[in-house]
């Protein structure tokens, strides 16, 4: 496993100060910030030129972190996380303790735990930050999602407070995660397979 300590030591002060980072997630290059900091989240919306009516996906390092930010974890979510071997975002009901702009109108929030073997850098950033990290694609809203660092527009690169060096790109698969919405009564809706 790569030693990420030096890069994380650079990233954490930026995130804690309300900054926005450009970083490789377990799927694509993303824009990220502390998901509990409303001002930082608004910066992400501004950079993307995205309507705040659309919620954002968050990254958590484990189910314990998810449990701190949703009122109740549906039982099926635990099973899905335990058997999952590909990037999967779960939309949970009852978000709490997060910036209001990351929460959907119905009170739900989409959270992904990067799977072992990919996304180790972003998982370690989240673990050390001790709060969920916004994870939205590094593009202007409506434009194609960049599959690699080289496809990110200069405008996005110039707008962030910190860019993780390209050499850490190995975790990003270039493919979006599947998205599953869960209800407390056992309801399961596949949003994106």
pLDDT the model gives residue 2? 66
Residue 76, domain extent: 5-192
pLDDT the model gives residue 132? 98
pLDDT the model gives residue 160? 98
Structure tokens at 50: 């995205």
Number of domains in the chain: 1
Residue with tokens 């990037």: 87
pLDDT the model gives residue 7? 93
pLDDT the model gives residue 84? 77
pLDDT the model gives residue 192? 77
3-class DSSP assignment, residue 178: strand
**Beta-sheet strands, E only, within 27-114:** 29-32, 57-59, 88-92, 109-112
- What kind and span of H or E run contains 4? none
pLDDT the model gives residue 85? 77
Structure tokens at 173: 């698969």
Cα-based distances in Å from 73 to 65, 67, 178:
11, 7, 18
pLDDT the model gives residue 15? 98
Structure tokens at 86: 């590909």
For residue 70, the domain's CATH number is: 3.90.870.10
HSE toward the beta carbon, residue 98, CA cutoff 13 A: 33
Centre a 10 Å sphere on the Cβ of residue 129 and count the other Cβ atoms it contains. 21
Question: Residue 171 has what DSSP assignment?
Answer: G
Residues of the chain with pLDDT under 70: 1-2, 53, 117-118, 171-174
pLDDT the model gives residue 127? 95
């Amino acid at each position: 496993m790569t030693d990420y300590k030096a890069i994380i030591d650079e990233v954490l002060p930026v995130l804690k100060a309300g900054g926005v980072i450009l970083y490789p997630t377990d799927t694509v290059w993303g824009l990220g910030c502390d998901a509990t900091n409303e001002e930082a989240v608004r910066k992400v919306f501004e950079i993307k030129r995205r309507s705040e009516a659309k919620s954002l996906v968050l990254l958590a390092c484990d189910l314990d972190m998810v449990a701190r930010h949703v009122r109740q974890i549906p039982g099926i979510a635990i099973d899905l996380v335990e058997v999952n071997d590909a990037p999967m975002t779960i939309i949970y009901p009852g978000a709490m303790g997060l910036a209001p702009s990351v929460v959907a109108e119905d009170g739900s929030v989409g959270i992904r735990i990067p799977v072992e073997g990919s996304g180790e850098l972003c998982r370690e950033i989240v673990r050390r930050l001790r709060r969920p990290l916004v994870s939205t694609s590094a593009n202007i809203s409506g434009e194609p999602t960049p599959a690699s660092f080289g496809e990110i527009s200069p405008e996005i690169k110039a707008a962030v407070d910190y860019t993780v060096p390209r050499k850490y790109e190995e975790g990003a698969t270039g493919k979006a995660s599947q998205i599953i919405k869960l209800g407390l009564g056992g309801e399961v809706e596949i949003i994106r397979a």
